[in-house]
Structure 1
Amino acid sequence: MIRDRGKMKWQGAFFMPEHVKLLGDIQTDSNKQAKPQLDEQELEEIQIIVMESLQYTLPIKITTWKNGFFKHSTGIVDTVDMVKMQIRFEVNEEKIYILIEDITSVERV
């Protein structure tokens, strides 16, 4: 009966760590998406929903875009800072800051 090393002989013997990192970076880059361009009507709708959440403490879902990836957060708007162009958003008792330019969509929950 022949006893060989099985899978062990094929595990990473031919890939250097730099190659593995490069392959991972290529996979990550292929999953990136372009930032959508918002027209004035969409921007106005975002503003209305954010202000409703601020005034009436209503939960909303904010979708942000950063470096090619979308992130969804659900919570309540705490403050809107027009000087720093950011929103303080309360998610599960935790306050996070979201740049207004990163927001791609807002939905009422």
Structure 2
Amino acid sequence: MDIILLNTSDLPIYQQIKDQIIEQIMKGQLLEGEQLPSIRSLAKELKISVITTKRAYEELEKEGYIDTVVGKGSFVSLRNKKILKQKQLEMIQNKLKLIVSDSKKYDITLEQLIEMIEMFYKED
């Protein structure tokens, strides 16, 4: 499992860890049932606090990406990827609803909004 932390990122470290693990799960780089490094070993490897790693794992579990078995460790959830993908799509849809609502408030046209989305989408 490869995790790269950026000190220059606006995202907190736990969020960077969480996002990268989700990405690896969704891309099939981490397989269903695969064991993740222990909280302590990942913290040591990344040279960060155990508390930070614990928070990332807790959020991953809460969102259904991993399952933790007491005394055995954390594993990529056996839940269906389609369900997780649907959950992600719903989250994006809710964010887009807010963006569209704000855009209308500030008289931003659909064309301007689409242009901004395309610009941001092409940045990475």
Give yes or no for TM over 0.5. Answer: no
TM-score, normalised via structure 1 length: 0.19
TM-score, normalised via structure 2 length: 0.18
Hey, which of these two has a bigger chunk of helix by percent?
A: 2
